[in-house]
Amino acid sequence: MANESRPCPCGIGDRFDYEGCGQEVQVGHIKAYVCKPPAGTDKAVIVIHDIFGWQLPNTRYMADMLAANGYIAICPDFFAGREAWKPSDDWSKFDDWLKTRDARKISKEADAVLKYLKEQCGAKKLGVVGFCWGGVAVRHLMMTYPELKAGVSLYGLIKDSDDISNLLNPTFFIFAEKDEFIPLHQVTLLEQKLKKSCKVDFEVKIYPGQTHGFVHRRREDINPQDKPYIEEGRKDMINWLNKYI
């Protein structure tokens, strides 16, 4: 996501060479990637992609990791058929591109996904995680859908004017200390606002030395110095879901 003073969004990072264990399905008017755990479960997590879209292998890797931890994981196309951003695209056109993909205007897609999870997958306990663009979407959904019992927002862009005090259920916020798109003062302000008026459990955590996208866009095998933080971020995400779902 872009910072208000810097319109250029994040780079794609280490693109995983990853096929995925799940399958693509039609969910109402959109497509989605679904991965189910070996054993049956009524727990499901919606995985919301970043600007690079629902087909990015890195995001599918995260969905499969959640499935390996016992959740039905679904990564829908929240762009609803519109093209995802590509690293080769003209960055000067990013703002215009983003205007047609508002992370706070996804209720139609969310409704379709929730219906699918409940009716087709038998899901009764639901959560949501999102990365970058999806991190903003998580904040919106956690203030809108009471059936989402836990949310994890990973390095979603913050505006000073954002009001997220009306979270309906426990939400965990993951940020990177050296994120060039999300200044630490914005993270501090967010935490202050939550402490002042949020009525549910929340946690804001900053990971030392990390940059934007570290949990899902960094390969620990080629970033050994970051491996402990990448693994910690993923573990923290799963622990939060396990605690509240």
Active site residues: 132, 179, 212
* Other CB atoms within 10 Å distance of the CB of residue 236: 17
Sheet of strand 171-176, all strands in order from the earlier edge strand to the far edge: 23-27, 30-35, 72-76, 43-48, 125-131, 148-154, 171-176, 202-207
User: d(Cα 8, Cα 106) in Å, to the nearest integer?
Assistant: 23
User: d(Cα 35, Cα 53) in Å, to the nearest integer?
Assistant: 17
Q: Which residues pair with 207 in a beta bridge?
A: 176
